[in-house]
Amino acid sequence: MLIDYHLHLLGHEDRKATVENAAEFLKQAENRNIKKVGFSDHQRFYKQFDFSVIQEAGTYFPDLEVKTGIEMNYIPGQEQRMTNLMSQFYLDHTIGSVHYIGDWPFDHPDYREEYEKWDLTELYKEYFSYVKEMVETGLFDIIGHLDLIKVFDFRPEEGVMELVEPVLEVIAREDQVIEVNTNGLNKPAEEIYPSRRILERAYQKGVTITLGSDAHSAERVGENLDQVREMLKEIGYREIAAFSDREREMVKL
């Protein structure tokens, strides 16, 4: 079964939450044989959320299980604010992601030159310390694009496995879920989040996964998930996590 829990109906606030726009996403999901979908817009657009249009659009696609979620940008020290925001909505799932180091939006192309100011090993250590802290809060159902810091293909020469290992240990211990996010294939990194090597280590540790395309437009819903499913089966995964009312169930991959 294919799931896509990382859809951005509002994009980067470049479209409205309407039944027609939601239906475009769902039509593409149907075309790509996705069975469960989840809209998870960025929390900064929360004033534009309208889950009723998602629910209405879902009535036109009876073979799709349509869920509502949110992608939260994790900021250390703002856990209560994030909890308060999430509590305002009925959510099937929450995605926690790290998009900022300090006040630097490191995955935004306008701020790419900031990478040149860092020792990359130190940068990756800093990034994964944020991710580890986010995991330890237990606030989120899904850990989004685990190694997003590689987005522009700046990578430490010695690799990242030693740096990501403590994060995977905490994820395994806390029984949390990481998403396999295909959007990295569209970026300079040209690699899924997280990398196959990280996923192989995650599998060895018993870490649970789910799937997401991170689609900010309808044509990218479910993008490359077929290929990723085959890779995951090669690694050894046979089940993935699905969510409803923030309760997890495992479904066959």
CB hemisphere CA count around 248 (13 angstroms): 15
Integer Cα distance of 140 and 128 in angstroms: 16
The 10s digit of each residue's pLDDT in 50-61 is 999 999 999 999
Query: What's the Cα-to-Cα distance from 244 to each of 21, 92, 145, 247, 249, rounded to whole Å?
Result: 23, 5, 21, 5, 8
CATH number attached to the domain at 2-252: 3.20.20.140
pLDDT at 14: 86
d(CA 191, CA 182): 8
The partner residues of 7 in beta bridges, in order of sequence, read 39, 215
Measure Cα distances from 144 to 56, 57, 116, 181, 193 in Å: 27, 25, 25, 8, 8
pTM: 0.96
Q: Are 11 and 46 in contact (CB under 8 A)?
A: no
Residue type, 224: N
- Supply the pLDDT for residue 137: 96
pLDDT in tens, the chain (253 residues): 999 999 999 998 889 999 999 999 999 999 999 999 999 999 999 999 999 999 999 999 999 999 999 999 999 999 999 999 999 999 999 999 999 999 999 999 999 999 999 999 999 999 999 999 999 999 999 999 999 999 999 999 988 999 999 999 999 999 999 999 999 999 999 999 999 999 999 999 999 999 999 999 999 999 999 999 999 999 999 999 999 999 999 999 9
CA dist 146 and 153 (Å) reads 15
- Name the CA radius of gyration of the chain, rounded: 17
pLDDT, tens digit, 9 for 90 and up, residues 99-122:
999 999 999 999 999 999 999 999
Residue 121 backbone class (left: φ over 0; alpha: ψ -120 to 50; beta: rest): alpha
